[in-house]
Structure 1
Amino acid sequence: MKIGLFTDAYKPQISGVTTSLNMLAEGLIKEGHEVYIITVKTKGSKEFDIDKPYILRFRGIPYPRKGLEIYRFVPCVGRHVRRIKKKFPKFDVIHVHTEFSIGKLAYLYQKRTKTPMVYTSHTMYEEYLHYVGKRLAKMFRRPFMWIVKKMLKRYVKSSQVSIVPSKKILDLMNKYNIEGNYKIVPTGIDLEKFKKETYKEKDILKLKESLGLKDEFVCLFIGRVSSEKSIDVLLKGFKELNNENMKFLIVGDGPYMGELKNLIKKLDLEDKVILTGMVNWEDVGLYYQLGDCFLNASISETQGLTYIEALAAGLPLLVKHDQVLEAVVTDGYNGLFFHEDDELQSLIERLKEDKKLKEELSKNALLSVKKYSQEEYAKNALETYEEAIKLYKEKQTNK
């Protein structure tokens, strides 16, 4: 099968969408399918694309807002349909992963080439309004959400099948009254990349030493450093601990980093919190080996890929309850939920002191991630593509 993947976000950027897309592309290629990726040019993309002729990028203009600089606006995208047709063979199906410039390009490609289309809704836009500015978000929330709903409706209506990664997103679509042919397909990951057995003990020790870690109990956060991730909640909970012989390791970067550093200083945690900044994607699995538990207080996740990565590394999860996580975390089995922010402190202390509980949660963490394998993700996606192709053919026949 010849599959065109359209996205405004792809490597070398790091985000939930890029991780999902990369896992899908790799899984489909392993199954013997031809995969082509249409995306935008970003910093480092030229080097990344060496020996990858299946990637086609278009130049765009960076968005002039803090936190959105890595994204691009591609003007007059319709003119690029011809270039796609010239460079790549006719696709059997296209799969749209984002709704902006490249999403619009996919929409136009489908109309002009009469190709079956699948759409995945990855993002809860209500949780990202702050990127347009707090005052603007408050003043123009209703018109902004009207635009978002109209945009989502266009892609759902144009697709034969619309994928949502969790029931939370399905419920959101129903709340928006956007009717469609929905299918829940959880994103898969390369489980081996995060397992402890993948790494040599000397490499783990070397990384620990480089970060100044010894035998401390390490609380770990890995992800985009942005306000919707609620890292401030984690820091305040960590502050309340008797945190002797404990460290909080934060791996990642983002628009909230400056404010995060100020908060760490204000809380007098500079000797307890380690900030790595951005790390190479190839090294992320190694960083998971440094943690004793994984912390997160975000309620903006559409599935929670870093949670699944942490489970694959055998880390117990101490995370804020959210509906989307009920499919990932079983409270008391592979992690512990907190509902109120002030509950986090006691959960960390409990896990640190109760070694038997920690071992049990860790063992169950490894058992609970098998359904998120890359192979299962690719298999579910292929079944969805076949359904989309069948539905499209039936529609054309009935015209």
Structure 2
Amino acid sequence: MKIAMLTNNYRPFVGGVPVSVERQAKALRALGHEVTVFAPDYGDGKNGGQDPEEDHVVRCSCFKRKMCNGMVYPKVADRQVREAFEREFFDCVHVHQPVFAGNTALWLKKKYHIPVVYTWHTKYQDYLHYFPLFREEEKAGPLRRLLIRAGRDLILPAYMRWFTGKCDLVLAPSKGMKRQILEMGVRAPVEMLPTGLEESFFETDARRAEEIRREYLQDRKYLFCTVSRLEIEKNIPFLLEGVRRLKEEDMEPFRFLVIGEGTQRVYLEELARQMGLGDVVTFTGNIPNRELKDYLAASDLFLFASRSETQGIVIQEALASGCPVVAVKATGVEDVVEDGKNGFLAPEDAQAWCLKVWKALEGPAAGEMRSRAKDSVRGYRSILLAMQEERMYRNCAEQRWKEVSGCVDGHGEKHAAVSLSRLFKIT
């Protein structure tokens, strides 16, 4: 099959969606499919550089203005997209956001009569603070507060129902997210498909992991880490408060690595100093993805507090590296962390969370948790999930061509004929 993937965010931007898109594309190519990623052009030579994967990426124009976290606003139906679809005959469009790329996907569906699959990666209600209208709700006047609530509680859900109603299939990254999508009243077919794990995460370098432990631990006993964009929705201050309590309760000496970058980094570093954690917390910045598995393998626990996840890719990566997880119980997270087996779930209460950390380190199951962590995510291998994705694409393509048979003309007729022929060759 020839698949077009449309995304508002892609490397070099660091985040869950770029990771998901890249892994899905690579796994599908490994099965013999042709996958083209349509992604933003970040300019200034900051795209993929010499990465061979960049050969499969079409960079599209964006508006000059950016969000405060570095995200861009891609242009809808950009010239690069139009020209690519004039040259090529795609069997399916897989889109990863409901606006900008999402609007382009619906335009392509209408013009070329091809199915659109959408992955619901994000709890958008938790990200509205990136838009000026929704910032600082507690400081807003009565009218603005009313507008903010209407946007979050009425307009956003209504738009998502409308958008998904135009799609042929909606993919949820976890069982909990699928449940929320259905509860919202989405009428399109919904299936679950998590982001997969590359084999490299199961193959850590023991020597490098030991080097990392020596570098950061020195005379300490435990090494903890978290991996996250340093943004409001990731709830890093809660982790700092939990770590402060662990220190005050005379836990064995430890070091906590905060891996990642974001607009909150300066604030969080200052907060850690104010809490007296300067000798405990280290902000490492971003770590290349190929090296991340060794930092995870070096750690005794992976700590996580975000409540905005639909899946929590970094949690799966930690488990694949053999690192048990202690996390705040939330949608997406609770589908991966099995309480008492590969980690622990806690309410968003610092004292209760600290007790789970103690239990993970000193409890009766502590010795078995590392092996259980690896075993718990073996079914998340990218190639296995790509096989499921392939089946979903084929079903969508077959259903779509049944619906449009005899109803297309012009270029759309040619496109439909070629795609339908290809469909029968691969089924």
Instruction: Trace 1:350-369 onto structure 2 (pairs within 5 A).
Output: 350-354=359-363, 357-369=365-377
- AA matched with 2:226: F
Q: How does 1:257-276 map to 2 (within 5 A)?
A: 257-276=265-284
Aligned to 1:386: 394
* Structure 2: tracts of 5 or more residues without a match: 408-427
- Cα distance change, pair 138–126 in 1 and its aligned pair in 2 (3 A): farther
Where 1:45 maps in the other structure, the secondary structure is: coil
What's the counterpart of residue 36 of structure 1? 36
**Structure 1 residue 219 and structure 2 residue 224: aligned?**
yes
1:187-202 counterparts in 2 under 5 A?
A: 187-190=195-198, 192-195=199-202, 197-201=203-207
Contact 2:91 2:115 in 1 (8 A): yes
Q: Determine the C-alpha separation between the residues in 2 that align with 1:239 and 1:353.
A: 19
Task: Provide TM-score, normalisation by structure 2.
Answer: 0.85
Q: Is the 8 A contact 1:204 1:290 kept in 2?
A: yes
Identity %: 27
| 350 and 40 in structure 1: CA distance in 2 versus 1, 3 angstrom threshold | same
From 251, 256, 262, give the equivalent of 2:264: 256
Is 1:56 matched up with 2:71?
no
Residue 90 (structure 2) aligns with = 91
The change in CA–CA distance for 1:340 and 1:279 in structure 2 (over 3 A counts) is closer
Checking the alignment, whether the CA contact within 8 Å between 1:320 and 1:337 is kept in structure 2 is yes
**Which residue type is aligned with residue 365 of structure 1?**
A
SS of 1:53's partner is helix
For residues 41-62 of structure 1, the C-alpha deviation after alignment (integer angstroms, 9 at most, x for no partner) is 1262051556733210112125
Q: Kindly state the Cα deviation for residue 80 of structure 1 after the two structures are TM-superposed.
A: 4.5
Equivalent pairs, count: 392
State the partner residue of 2:412: none
Structure with higher Rg: it is 2
Kindly indicate whether residue 404 of structure 2 is the aligned counterpart of residue 396 of structure 1: yes
Please state whether the residue corresponding to 2:365 is helix, strand or coil: helix
Matched, 1:109 2:116: no
- The CA distance in 1 between the partners of 2:308 and 2:204, in whole Å, is 31
Residue number among 232, 235, 243 corresponding to 1:238 in the alignment? 243
Q: Quick one: structure 1 residues 90 and 274, their matched pair in 2 at CA, closer, same or farther if it must change by over 3 Å?
A: same
Q: CA deviation at 1:316?
A: 1.2
**Alpha-carbon spacing, 1:292–1:248, altered in 2? closer, same or farther (3 Å):** same
After TM superposition, give the deviation of residue 97 of structure 1 in Å. Answer: 0.8
Give, in whole Å, the separation in 2 of the partners of 1:99 and 1:194. Answer: 30
- Deviation of 1:212 (Å): 6.1
The C-alpha deviation readout for 1:94-139, integer Å capped at 9, x for no partner, is 1011123222222212211111211111110111122232236845
How far the C-alpha of 1:40 sits from its partner, in A, is 0.4
CA distance in structure 2 between the partners assigned to 1:347 and 1:171 by the alignment: 27
Letter in 2 for 1:325: V
1:41 and 1:210, CA in 2 relative to 1: closer, same or farther beyond 3 A? farther
Q: Deviations over 1:174-228 (max 9, x none)?
A: 33322111111122111x3223x43150x33444455464553011101211121
The one-letter code matched in structure 1 to 2:117 is V
Which residue of structure 1 aligns with residue 186 of structure 2?
Answer: 178
Do residues 343 (structure 1) and 343 (structure 2) align?
no
Please say if residues 221 and 250 of structure 1, whose CA atoms lie closer than 8 Å, have aligned partners that are also in contact: yes
Change (3 A) 1:7 1:259: same
**Residue from 219, 224, 228 that aligns with 2:233:** 228
Question: Cα–Cα, structure 1 residues 336 and 306, in superposed 2: closer, same or farther, change >3 Å?
Answer: same
Runs of 4+ displaced beyond 6 Å: none
Q: Whole-Å Cα distance in 2 between the matches of residues 366 and 46 of structure 1?
A: 31
Q: How does 1:158-169 map to 2 (within 5 A)?
A: 158-169=166-177
State whether residues 5 and 38 of structure 2, in contact with CA within 8 Å, keep that contact through their aligned partners in structure 1. Answer: yes
Quote the RMSD (CA, aligned, Å). Answer: 2.2
Which residue of the partner structure matches residue 21 of structure 2?
21
Contact 1:352–1:358 (Cα < 8 Å) also in 2: yes
SS at match of 1:240: helix
Between the aligned partners of 2:124 and 2:331, the Cα distance in structure 1 is 17
Amino acid at match of 1:187: T
SS in 1 for 2:28: helix
Q: Distance in 1 between matches of 2:99 and 2:219?
A: 46
Q: 1:66 aligns with which of 65, 68, 79?
A: 68
Using structure 1 for the length normalisation, give the TM-score: 0.91
Partners of 2:283 and 2:311 in 1: CA distance: 25
